[in-house]
Amino acid sequence: MHVTSPVREPLIQGGKTYADVTEDICRHVEGAPTKEWKIAFGISLLVLGYGSYCLAWTWWEGLGVWGLNKTVGWAWDITNFVWWVGIGHAGTLISAILLLFRQKWRTSINRAAEAMTIFAVLAAASFILMHMGRPWMAYWALPLPNAFGSLWVNFNSPLVWDVFAISTYFSVSLVFWYIGLIPDLATIRDRATSKVSKLMYGLFAMGWDGSAKTWARYEYVSLILAGLSTPLVLSVHTIVSMDFATSVIPGWHTTIFPPYFVAGAIFSGFAMVQNLMLITRVVYRLEDYITLEHIETMNKVITLTGSVVGVAYITEFFIAWYSGVEYEYYAFFNRMTGPYWWAYWAMMTCNVISPQLFWSRKLRRSITFTFFISVIVNIGMWFERFVIIVTSLHRDYLPSSWAMFSPTRYDIGDYIFSFGLFFTLFLLFSKYLPVINMAEVKAVIRSTSADLPKKIAGVAKARHDVNKMGQPVPNYNKEQE
Amino acid sequence: MAELTGKYLVGVYDDDDTVLHAVPKLRKSGVKIEEVYSPFPIHGLDEALGHPRTRIGIAAFMFGVTGCCCALTLMIWTMGIDWPMIIGGKDPISIPNYIPITFELTVLFTAFGMVTTFFISNGMGPASHFHPRFDFRSTDNKFVMAINMGSNAMSEDEISRALRDSGAEEVNIKQF
CATH code of the domain containing A222? 1.20.1630.10
Q: Which CATH architecture has domain B7-51+132-175?
A: 2-Layer Sandwich (3.30)
Residue A61, exposed/middle/buried by CB under 10 A (0-12, 13-18, 19+)? exposed
- Is A405 within the bounds of a domain? yes
Number of Cβ pairs < 8 A linking chain A and chain B:
227
- Is A294 within the bounds of a domain? yes
Which of B104, B143, B148, B174 should be substituted to probe chain A, the one whose Cβ sees the most A Cβ atoms within 10 Å?
Answer: B104
Beta-sheet strand order (sheet of B7-13) = B35-37, B143-148, B7-13, B170-175
In chain B the first and final C-alpha atoms are separated, in Å, by 15
> What integer pLDDT is reported at residue B84 of this predicted model?
87
- Is A208 within the bounds of a domain? yes
Q: Give me the helices (H) in chain B, please.
A: 16-28, 45-48, 56-76, 95-122, 156-165
Window A:97-156, CB contacts with B under 8 Å: 143, 149-152, 154-156
Whether A447 and chain B come into contact, CB under 8 Å, resolves to no
In chain A, what's the furthest Cα-to-Cα distance?
Answer: 88
What gap in Å lies between CA A92 and CA A118, rounded to an integer?
Answer: 9
Distance from CA of A204 to the nearest CA of B (A): 6
Whether A170 and chain B come into contact, CB under 8 Å, resolves to no
Torsion, Cα A231 A237 A239 A242, to 10 degrees, reads: -140
Sorted by sequence, the CB contacts under 8 Å of residue A325 that are 6+ apart come out as A250
Which of A163, A178, A209 should be substituted to probe chain B, the one whose Cβ sees the most B Cβ atoms within 10 Å?
Answer: A209
> What integer pLDDT is reported at residue A468 of this predicted model?
44
What gap in Å lies between CA A143 and CA A139, rounded to an integer?
Answer: 8
> What integer pLDDT is reported at residue A8 of this predicted model?
63
How many CA atoms are closer than 13 Å to the CA of A429, on its beta-carbon side?
22
Whether A16 and chain B come into contact, CB under 8 Å, resolves to no
User: CB-CB: which of B46, B51, B128 is closest to A207?
Assistant: B128
B63 touches B56 (CB < 8 A): no
- Is A470 within the bounds of a domain? no
User: Which chain A residue has its CA at the smallest distance from B24's CA?
Assistant: A471
CA angle A106, A107, A111 (to 5 degrees): 95
pLDDT by position in tens, chain A (length 481): 555 555 566 788 877 888 888 988 898 888 888 898 999 999 999 999 999 999 999 999 999 999 999 999 999 999 999 999 999 988 888 888 888 888 888 888 889 999 999 999 999 999 999 999 888 888 888 888 777 666 788 898 999 999 999 999 999 999 999 999 999 999 999 988 889 988 999 999 998 988 999 999 999 999 999 999 999 999 999 999 999 999 888 989 988 999 999 999 999 999 999 999 999 888 888 888 898 889 999 999 999 999 999 999 999 999 999 999 999 999 999 999 999 999 999 999 999 999 999 999 999 999 999 999 999 999 999 999 999 999 999 998 889 999 999 999 999 999 999 999 999 999 999 999 999 999 998 888 876 554 554 444 334 433 444 444 444 444 433 444 3
Closest CA to A434 of B139, B119, B85, B69: B139
- Is A146 within the bounds of a domain? no
Residue B94 backbone dihedrals phi, psi, to 5 degrees: -120, 95
A402 touches A394 (CB < 8 A): yes
> What integer pLDDT is reported at residue A460 of this predicted model?
40
Distance from CA of B69 to the nearest CA of A (A): 16
Domain that holds residue A256: 18-137+156-457
Q: Tell me A97's DSSP state.
A: I
| Ranges for all domains in chain B classified under CATH 3.30.70 | 7-51+132-175
B24 touches A471 (CB < 8 A): yes
- Is A389 within the bounds of a domain? yes
Window B:78-137, CB contacts with A under 8 Å: 78-79, 82-83, 85, 87-88, 90, 94, 97-98, 100-101, 103-105, 107-108, 110-112, 114-115, 118-119, 121-131, 133, 136-137
Whether A248 and chain B come into contact, CB under 8 Å, resolves to no
What rounded mean pLDDT belongs to chain A? 87
Q: Tell me B93's DSSP state.
A: S
Q: What is the CA radius of gyration of chain B?
A: 25
Encode pLDDT of A256-299 as tens digits. 999 999 999 999 999 999 999 999 888 888 888 898 889 999 99
Task: Say whether A171 and B108 touch across the interface (CB within 8 A).
Answer: yes
Q: Hey, what amino acid is at B37?
A: Y
- Is A391 within the bounds of a domain? yes
> What integer pLDDT is reported at residue A352 of this predicted model?
93
Task: Say whether A463 and B17 touch across the interface (CB within 8 A).
Answer: yes
B17 touches A463 (CB < 8 A): yes
B149 touches B7 (CB < 8 A): yes
Mean pLDDT by 10 residues, chain B (176 residues): 74 88 89 90 89 91 96 92 85 90 96 95 86 86 88 85 88 84
Task: Say whether A211 and B87 touch across the interface (CB within 8 A).
Answer: no
* Pairing relationship of beta strands B35-37 and B143-148 according to DSSP bridges: antiparallel
The total of structural domains in chain A comes to 1
With contacts defined as CB-CB under 8 Å, which chain A residues touch B17? 456, 459, 462-463
Q: Could you tell me which residues are beta bridge partners of residue A430?
A: none
- Is A476 within the bounds of a domain? no
What distance lies between CA A126 and its chain's CA centroid? 16
